[in-house]
Amino acid sequence: MSRLKWNFKRYVDFLKSYGFEHGHTEGSHYYYNGRILGVDRVVQVIFSHKEKDCQSIRTIKMGMKHSGIPKAYYEEWDKNEKVHSEIIY
Write out the chain's pLDDT in tens, 89 residues: 457 889 999 999 999 999 999 999 999 999 999 999 999 999 999 998 877 688 888 999 999 999 999 999 999 999 999 999 999 99
Q: What is the pTM of this model?
A: 0.91
Rg (CA), the chain: 12
CA dist 76 and 78 (Å) reads 5
DSSP notation for 18-29: TT-EEEEEETTE
**How many independent structural domains does the chain possess?**
1
Query: Do the domain assignments include residue 67?
Result: yes
